[in-house]
Structure 1
Amino acid sequence: MCHNLKLALLLALSCVAANVHAEKADSGKPIELAADRGSLDQKQGINILEGNVVATQGTLSMRADKTIVTRDAQGNQTLQAFGSPATFRQKVDGKNEYIEGQASRVDYTSASNLVILTGKARVKRGQDLVTGEQITYNTVSEVYQVMGSTPSASGTPKGRVTVILQPKPQDKP
């Protein structure tokens, strides 16, 4: 697989779960990509993988029906993953728990450090869960924004969001 595609997917995949204290050792592991077919355009900086796309790096895994990775002249990269649903999963560093996400579409842009999950979006960490039509996650500030529906022309959301936060275990005397 070409080096630029590996680098693009490494960046995109690592940023999807970067600041939730993902398994630190993952970044030093090789990336394995598999798909039914691919199109790599080095000159235009557009790489497309289609058909049961699976990308893994250590404990991080991503699955999609199709991914499009692009890089602009400044080196900024974008990843679009489409699926029924597109999913990702990564172990949380130092804990026996995972962060998992899924949506019909997952977009990541390195310039803005934003991951946007759209279409029946769901992010789970341990037993905590956030669901909505769209979840935006800033990988630097670690702030989530959840919408019950995608923005309409009127700007009025019509759906609902769900947030389930489990209580912290109490220390026993």
Structure 2
Amino acid sequence: MKFAKVTAVLLATGFSLLSSLAHALPSDSQQPIHVKADSAEMDDKRGVAIYRGDVIITQGTLKITGDTVTITLNNEGDIDVFTSVGKPAYYEQLPATDKEIVQAYGLTIQYFANTEKIIIQDQAKVIQQGNTFKGEKIVYDTVREIVTAGRGKQGSITSPAPRIDMVIQPKKKAN
């Protein structure tokens, strides 16, 4: 019974923090959190929750999917690192009502709550307002909406791509 209660509190607190830190719609943090997975494991002492098997997590406009999703908490009980691993792992969220959904794909997607950054590694791809960024590693600053693409750590990349591939749409001019 303690496990279920702690897990529910952890999820509610953690995902509310995650969605508010992801600089998204203010209403996202007020939405219910939905987690679907084949299995779940919680380690209270280490502050780690692991979900396995076609994991789908949604809260408002936030959607994260992966084969395995791990949430690691810091000493204060807040989310420290949120890691989704899949073929591919997927992240999407609407940053504002006047913007398009940001989408990210990669074999590993990590969200670092303290820096509000997402790191996508191995077959990484981010689609933001029609622009596409591909590379071994992409760092997405969710607050400033800045994407940096480049090389990943050697030995950790399954599909080496020494060069980045970007498609940047022209700005629409007022007539």
Fold shared per TM-score above 0.5: yes
- Give the letter for the 1:65 counterpart: D
- Give the letter for the 1:100 counterpart: Q
Offset, 1:145: 1.9
The change in CA–CA distance for 1:31 and 1:114 in structure 2 (over 3 A counts) is same
RMSD over aligned Cα, in angstroms? Answer: 2.3
> How is 1:94-133 mapped onto 2 (pairs within 5 angstroms)?
94-95=97-98, 97-133=100-136
> What is the TM-score with the length of structure 2 in the denominator?
0.82
SS at match of 1:73: coil
> How is 1:148-167 mapped onto 2 (pairs within 5 angstroms)?
149-152=151-154, 159-167=162-170
Unaligned ranges ≥5, structure 2? 1-6
Within 2, Cα distance between the matches of 1:97 and 1:108?
20
Aligned: 1:4 with 2:7: no
Which residue of structure 1 lines up, in the alignment, with residue 137 of structure 2? 134
Q: 1:43 aligns with which of 45, 57, 66?
A: 45
Aligned: 1:73 with 2:87: no
Q: 1:93 aligns with which of 92, 96, 103?
A: 96
- Give the letter for the 2:25 counterpart: E
> What is the TM-score with the length of structure 1 in the denominator?
0.83
Equivalent residue pairs, number: 164
Within 1, Cα distance between the matches of 2:99 and 2:83?
29
Offset, 1:158: 6.4
Within 1, Cα distance between the matches of 2:92 and 2:144?
20
